[in-house]
Chains A and B, each alone.
Chain A
Amino acid sequence: MIESPPPVYVERVDFSIVPPALLADATLYLFPIPSDIVNQQHLCETILNIPSEGACDFRAVQPFVLLIFARYEKVQKINTPESNYSYPPQPNDGYARFHAAGVSVLIAPSLPKSDEPQIILFPYCTFVDHGASIAGTRELQGWSTETAEIQIADDDPSKGFTFVLTCPAIKRFGPHSIARPERLIHVRNVPEAARGKQVGSPLRHHLSEMWTRALASENQRPLRLALISLKQFPDVAHPARACYQAGVQTIAESFRNEDHRWVALPGKFALEIETADSHPLVAQLGLDVEQFSGLDGFCLRSAQLRVNAGKELWRAP
């Protein structure tokens, strides 16, 4: 059977950022949160592996998930071909500035290939505070993105860091329930005396080692980060079915530059997660709430990232 070529996307005259895109001057804060690997694997099975009918077999590989808060100072389309790693690339049209947050699971294929990216993430949930990013990330990469108010208080490190994510949520499902803004995630520095069980050190070691290995693995090529997602859209006539469903891989590459810094944040952090039926983070990810008060934090400063067009790992017929 000869497959017809894909139709041209009918473009509006609007502001949309399609790959290849540059995420310049990015600051990413990462908090490894202890998590039951069985729960993580269950999510991988439900969302990534089973729908692929054998095409994919991803494994959760760490006993923690990554809570990420990010600030992107300049996000824009670029004209530079994907094979060209020169920096800065040629931008066009205009740019956006926004915050993002989310929780990602570190995964690996059960049979890794030699050219596998150094780090593979399954972005379990994603939030942005910029409306133009919602449709783009959901419809192109298949990320499950929603809008949220995201606060990153990091301008005075001597006062500590605070991260807050507020989004519409339903605390208790019910026929008369209405989504209201809830402070879903709150991370803050904690004083010494208030710290609970210290669990950060093994995770700190894990993450630093992983990152160092990734940076050291290839000389001139950028650090490559793969994001794996289930891209799907409901069928208009039968909403319980998907008119399009595919496993999608997107590659983000980090340009090497002198300002690029990977640092451990001072002190320990406490995490609070609101329990909401619409956002069951703790239950689904098997997060260990007893360890929420002594977390490590890391920061990647001045990162220059490029997101390229991705590929379909599989596609439902």
Chain B
Amino acid sequence: MIPTRNYPRYIQRSINALMLQTPALAKGVTLYFFPVGSDITKQQAICDKFLNDPSRKASELLSHSQGASNYRAFFPQVFFFFATYGSLQSLEPPDSDRGGYKYLEAGIWIPTVFEPKDANVLGSHLAMFPYYMFVNTSAPLAVGRELQGWDKEWAELGIPDRAFDADEFSISPVLIKRFSAESYGVEGLLAQFRRVGDRTDADAGLLWTEARAALKAIKRLVFKDMDPWIPGLALSIFGIPVRGLTFTFLKQFRDVRHPHHACYQSGVEATISIREFRGLGTLHGEYELNVTRADSHPLVDQMGLDESTFSRIHGFYAELDFVLHTGFERWRHP
């Protein structure tokens, strides 16, 4: 365990206040997912750079046992996701009595499994690493980054209101196509999923309200019965209980004196648990993915995205309310 520090009180301001302290309730959420082929080696390189190596360096400086993190990429796909939030609101007073935010979010998640270095230690679990995260409102952006380490950036997001009308999804952050002294960072289209062909009643999506049956159908329709086992868990990815999900982050802030160093750096995990499950369904038809190659967002190269899988993508969605729980530091730089 990491020794507890006697941290000072966080000074709440009444303007620009962070009003989304955890636990927080997300209501009226629709999550859309598009699995896209990705090189596991590239995924692992990202996990090592942001999750494993910093924890190893921190643990080498400590006298007490903190244990380095060991997150392993194992799935040959990453998940593009898009989300509409009816509201996100703290469950903790006084913020719970003040109000919440309605917003849009998108990103790319890498599925990983956390494996303790010591084989005798229990604790292997599935953990999503949200490597790219985009949000269209500054409050969830700031709270996500500063509280738990969600590496969110601002973007214009195009997300349909309803799954039935889901013809197009888009992410447009501030991007630079080619880095140079004269390049201008401006909002531009980074990734876009478009439904291919006309929508007909024949290919209408399906919606299940029982989670187990839904997963079974999505495994068949979206993943073509691909069913990799999660190393260390002796479970298939479709065999895990559908109660929630754990996320892992590198939480870090630049040092004002030395901006290429961090004044705080830690590995964080946080979970979401489903409060109300309303349904899981497939999206109608097939989608194609277009990605802009930009020096500021090298999605394809960095994540090893398989461009041959950019057409004929099947998507699925979930409608639910969930609770984002208070997280914990798995390690912290001394």
Contacts and interface: CB of A to CB of B under 8 A. Distances in A.
Q: Which of the listed residues A5, A12, A96, A241 has the most CB atoms from chain B within 10 Å of its own CB? A: A12
Contacts of B174: 15, 96, 130-132
Given A125-B15, A173-B97, A284-B14, A131 B155 contact: yes
A281 interface: yes
Contact of B257 (A76, A132, A232, A311): A311
Contacts of B235: none
A134 B138 contact: yes
B224 interface: no
B264 interface: yes
Contact of B148 (A7, A170, A236): A236
A277 interface: yes
Interface in A145-180: 145-147, 168, 170, 173-179
B99 A237 contact: no
- Is chain B's interface secondary structure helix, strand, loop, or mixed overall? mixed
A260 B8 CA distance: 44
B111 to A, nearest CB: 20
A55 interface: no
Nearest to A235: B7
B248 to A, nearest CB: 12
A293 to B, nearest CB: 23
Contacts of A231: 256
A248 B256 contact: yes
Contacts of B21: 234, 239-240
Contacts of B328: 236-237
A94 B296 CA distance: 10
Interface string A37-64: 0000000001100010000000000000
A195 to B, nearest CB: 29
Interface stretch (B50-58, B205-213, B225-233, B307-315): B50-58
B316 to A, nearest CB: 28
B41 interface: no
Nearest to B255: A6
B146 A233 contact: yes
A294 interface: no
Contacts of B97: 173-175
A47 B11 contact: yes
Contacts of A198: none
A7 B98 contact: no
Contacts of A310: 256-257
A241 B14 contact: no
Interface string B153-171: 1110000000000000000
Contacts of A139: 145-146, 253-254
A178 B154 contact: no
Interface centre among B10, B11, B89 (most CB of A within 10 A): B10
Contact of A284 (B15, B54, B100, B264): B15
Interface residues of B, number: 89
A9 B18 contact: no
B257 to A, nearest CB: 6
B141 A135 contact: yes
Interface string B81-121: 00000010100100011111110000000000000000000
A10 B264 contact: no
Interface string B294-334: 01111000100000000000000000000000111100011
A210 interface: no
B250 A51 contact: no
Q: Which among A125, A250, A278 has the highest number of chain B CB atoms within 10 Å?
A: A278
Interface string B123-156: 0000000000000011101100111110111110
Nearest to B252: A9
Interface in B154-211: 154-155, 173-176, 179-187
Contacts of A5: 261
Given A7-B54, A10-B49, A132-B185, A234 B146 contact: yes
18 contacts: A7-B333, A14-B153, A47-B11, A94-B296, A95-B181, A131-B141, A138-B145, A168-B101, A175-B97, A178-B100, A178-B102, A179-B99, A235-B7, A236-B251, A241-B8, A243-B7, A245-B8, A279-B16
For the complex of A and B, the 7 pairs showing the least CB-CB separation, nearest first, are A131-B154, A177-B99, A94-B183, A241-B7, A147-B138, A144-B16, A18-B259
